[in-house]
Amino acid sequence: MCSYYVSMPKPLKPGLSCPVARTLDVIGARWTVLIMRDLLLHRARRFQDLLDSGEGMAATTLSDRLKTLERHGVVERRMYSQHPPRAEYVLTEKGLALGPIVGAMREWGQTYTEWP
Amino acid sequence: MCSYYVSMPKPLKPGLSCPVARTLDVIGARWTVLIMRDLLLHRARRFQDLLDSGEGMAATTLSDRLKTLERHGVVERRMYSQHPPRAEYVLTEKGLALGPIVGAMREWGQTYTEWP
């Protein structure tokens, strides 16, 4: 049980009264943290850059994840060329604030896991 | 692309040359972070305690996640009573070191997400 639960007069969607669960609601889906990692490292990425990132994510999955991140205000799609139209993805302030989570994952992975 | 990739003479399982991806290989499955959250908060939990945590995880899923965490050396199962036999789950040192990740998720959730 999350100690950050607060009792409320009406039922809530289970788990979302806990801030850890609410964060997972945004970044918990498979692949999402790896997209965040790439955007934190490179600041701006085109769809194809993210697709080529090395882990073998399907294009439909990437498209779905980016839409979810946009809906949560974590990622913004912006045009960097009008002719031809070309878009790239950047993190918002809310997205950049996810940096410490990804950084803590990187540190733990470096310290506690081994090269396969 | 993760800047922590290092070129190697033989092909690797995609992604696992990046420490962020290696961490996700341990804690990336749905529900796992919520189990970690409960064990970080309470130190020791019985199976039923974790099941009752509020998010509605299925018993088979919890069992699967705990086995994975044990296999990775993140969680230990220990007997706290022999008659009748009763077990509880505790974090290892490697598991306790995941605390900063869960803490960063809690902080982000508190700052950037709203009560549903």
Residues 28-47 of A with CB under 8 A from B: 28, 30, 33-34, 37-38, 41
Domains defined for chain B, CATH in brackets: 30-112 (1.10.10.10)
Whether A88 and A81 have beta carbons less than 8 Å apart is answered as no
**Interface with B, mutate which of A105, A107, A111, A115 (most B CBs under 10 A):** A105
Q: Which residue has the higher pLDDT, A10 or A73?
A: A73
3-state secondary structure chain A: CCCCCCCCCCCCCCCCCCHHHHHHHHHCCCCHHHHHHHHHHHCEECHHHHHCCCCCCCHHHHHHHHHHHHHCCCEEEEEEECCCCEEEEEECHHHHCCHHHHHHHHHHHHHHCCCC
Does B104 sit within 8 Å of A100, measured CB to CB? yes
Q: How confident is the model at residue B35 (pLDDT cuts 50, 70, 90)?
A: very high
Q: Which residue has the higher pLDDT, A46 or B5?
A: A46
Q: How confident is the model at residue B48 (pLDDT cuts 50, 70, 90)?
A: very high
Q: What ipTM was predicted for this assembly?
A: 0.87
Q: What's the pLDDT tens digit per position in B14-31?
A: 567 899 999 999 999 989
Does B13 sit within 8 Å of A116, measured CB to CB? yes
Residue B6 has pLDDT above 70, yes or no: no
Residue B96 is predicted with a pLDDT of 97
pTM (2 decimals)? 0.87
Residue B22 is predicted with a pLDDT of 93
Q: What's the pLDDT tens digit per position in A4-42?
A: 554 444 444 555 789 999 999 999 998 999 999 999 999
Q: How confident is the model at residue B13 (pLDDT cuts 50, 70, 90)?
A: low
Burial A19-58 (b: 16+ CB within 10 A, else e): bbbbbbbbbbbebbbbbbbbbbebeebebeebbebbbebe
